[in-house]
Structure 1
Amino acid sequence: MPGARRSSEGERSERCWAFAWWVRSSAGTVELDWLDRARERNGMGIRIGMLGCSPGNGHPFSYSAIINGYCYAGLRESGWPVIHDYITCRDPADFGVADLRVTHAWTQAEEVTQALCRTADIQHALRHPQDMLGEVDAVIIARDDVESHRSLADPFLEAGMPVLIDKPLTLDRRDLDHFTPYLEAGQLMSCSAMRYATELDVPRSRLAEYGELKLVCGTILNDWEKYGIHMLEASLSLVASRPQSVQPLPGIHQGVAILLQDGSRITVDALGSVPPHFELALYGSERITRHAITDNFGMFRRMLWAFAHQVRGGIPIIDPVNTLDILRTLIAGQEALDSRREVLIHE
């Protein structure tokens, strides 16, 4: 049984035209010279290079399938059953992201690269990441091991190419300083897709109904280092106040309390080895709600669409101040857990 394949050239052209019109209408006529030249050169929209794969993280497969469509047999044999299940249950109309097309792929293992290319009909399997220079228009670094991010990203950032780096961008303050100019210039994007969770659309649009928002509680599986970013992205993109300090909480699992400048609080509990679980609870003076976050496909597609918008417009799609607040809070949280003391965000 065939899976959702890429649409016809006519359908893709129609989607590309509509997307370009929306960007020009909403972001003015800001257009990168290199991107205009790229369109003239290849006539196929924005060519994406997909880079890397890390243990337990199948994002190269899910991102590529969402952008390109997928081969049912290739996805089934890829070894990512959860991704297989949430990809194959979607309607074919859900696939494709603006005029992005993953054309090149590299991972650390040739057999993984070949499996990725089979899954998402990627034409070029490369032996070295630098082979993408001059061949693609933007890259996605789909690894969540932070120690690899700077060395993988720098050749592309230095070449002036747009880059999307999987969460978390870094846990090192010096690396964050290094990446900051690229974030501010709109060349680099990095976030958890939970910022775009479909389950948070209603509370985001009705925040006034909560009255005074006193407390936001996030609950995740695994650890703070890799998964804390999910709840930080979800919560700090909802609230207006900025984070001030992080304090470790006692208990048998990792937990932190984040004090905001307005005196309200965000707590995040990382439960360790438990069944998949992402939940955000909002406690206001007028309303209390809980939201289980389960729509991986929806949030990933929205994040990829946001990256396409940033590539097109050349300006940050996420306020760099918000991105930096989130990453500094993540770093401060790790320091608080390690030292068992309160850590100021801007310490």
Structure 2
Amino acid sequence: MLNIGIIGVSEGNGHPFSFSAIVNGYDDEGLRQSGWKVIYDYVRERHPSEFGFDGTRVSHVWTQDSDQTRRLQAACNIPRAVEHWSDLKDAVDAVILARDDHKRHAEMALPLLEAGLPVFVDKPLSLDSEDLQRFRPYLEDGQLMSCSGLRYARELDEARANVESYGSFRCVRGAVVLGWEKYAIHLLEAVSTVLPSVPVSVAPVPAEHASVAITMSDGTLFQLDALGSVPKTFQVDLWGTDRRSTHEITDNFSAFRRTLWHFVEMVRTGTPAIDSAETLRLMQVLRAGRRALQERRPVSLDNIEAE
């Protein structure tokens, strides 16, 4: 049995509940009373065959709030809680750090990684250059995985499989709810699995919300808008010389399940789930975008990497 510990929670992020439910299944009344109606609503629509991974369970949990811990245990059939997140080092085989407060990721993840545990870190991994360098060897060695679930969005399967049908890409647009630091990564991950090129620079676009123009290595323009407080939005538009398409991403469950499948495979095989260079490059895009928006000027990824 592969025993996984889960660490939560951070404000506005229900991933500890959704991830644990996908691995363990869920208690209907417990999840209904959890305070996460949106998760309860989409989880209860899924077939029982879509829950669980052979020989795997979330066996231990820690959150900074005892009431949240009890709700998470009751909702997702987690048998044991620990007094402190560091206690997981001696209790489980792997850890999911399901918090998106990225400034605390190194503090929590590095001691677990140093103890030899495989760790999944919720998006974004970090926007601190020193922390990213400390994470690098664990990414390279297949001990650390970090991404947005939208990297595996079902709605982009056809585009990925038939990328040549677009001809040469001319323009990509992405729109996402809320702010740049925590939410732009969703669409950066999603688009990175489709485009054959990589980002090289980020420039601000005049707007009341966070809007940037990302230049790709082949000249493709990728405009990404973090729209702030608007109705739920995760959308990608692709324009090529031969074809265009629009993709509204709504199936969180499938994206999360695929993410967890890749993490479990990484734990079992020791093979990195994602090229470490790609994870680090996307963190550079987030950092470059933050600077571009703050200073209202174009920022090269080369300059960010050299810091």
Does the alignment reach a TM-score above 0.5? yes
Match of 1:304 in 2: 260
- Give, in whole Å, the separation in 1 of the partners of 2:154 and 2:38: 19
- Aligned residues of 2:110 and 2:135 also touching (Cα < 8 A): no
* Counterpart-to-counterpart distance in 2, 1:212 and 1:98: 42
CA contact (8 A) 1:97 1:301 kept: no
1:294 equivalent in alignment to 2:250? yes
| Paired residues of 2:178 and 2:230 also in contact (CA < 8 A) | yes
Q: 2:179 aligns with which of 192, 199, 223?
A: 223
The counterpart of 2:154, out of the listed 190, 198, 207, is 198
What is the aligned counterpart of 2:23 among 54, 57, 67? 67
Contact 2:160–2:193 under 8 Å retained in 1:
no
Task: Using the TM superposition, name which of 173-182 and 201-210 deviates more.
Answer: 173-182
- Answering whether residue 233 of structure 2 is matched by residue 252 of structure 1, we say no
Counterpart selection for 2:145 from 164, 169, 189: 189
Counterparts in 2 of 1:154 and 1:323: CA distance versus 1, 3 Å: same
Counterpart of 1:136 in structure 2 is: 92
The Cα of 1:346 is off from its aligned counterpart by 2.1
Are 1:90 and 2:46 counterparts?
yes
Deviation digits for residues 256-279 of structure 1 (CA, Å, limit 9, x no counterpart): 111111111211011100011100
Per-residue CA deviations over 1:262-312 (Å, capped at 9, x if unaligned) read 111211011100011100000000101000000000000000000011111
Identity %: 50
Measured after TM superposition, the shift of residue 324 of structure 1 is 1.3
Cross-structure match for 1:238:
194
- 2:165 pairs with 1:174: no
Residue matched to 2:114: 158
Unpaired segments of 5 or more residues in structure 1?
A: 1-44
CA distance in 2, matches of 1:259, 1:127: 47
8 Å Cα contact 2:173/2:222 also seen in 1? yes
After superposition, the CA RMSD in angstroms is 0.8
Q: How big is each residue's C-alpha offset from its partner over 1:207-258, in whole Å with a ceiling of 9 and x where there is no partner?
A: 1111111111100010111100001001112112121100011011110111
- Distance in 1, Cα, partners of 2:279 & 2:179: 20
Q: How does 1:23-62 map to 2 (within 5 A)?
A: 45-62=1-18
Partner of 1:261: 217
Match of 2:241 among 285, 288, 294: 285
Measure the CA separation in 1 of the matches of 2:132 and 2:161: 31
State the TM-score, normalized to the length of structure 1: 0.86
Aligned AA for 1:203? A
CA drift of 1:335 comes to 1.0
1:237–1:322 Cα contact (<8 Å) kept: no
Deviation at 1:98, TM superposition (A): 4.0
Task: Measure, in 2, the Cα distance between the counterparts of 1:220 and 1:339.
Answer: 22
1:271 aligns with 2:271: no
Q: Name stretches of at least 5 consecutive residues in structure 2 with no aligned partner.
A: none
Asked whether the 8 Å contact 1:195–1:234 carries over to 2, the reply is yes
Whether the 8 Å CA contact 1:110–1:127 is kept in 2: the answer is no
TM-score (norm 2): 0.97
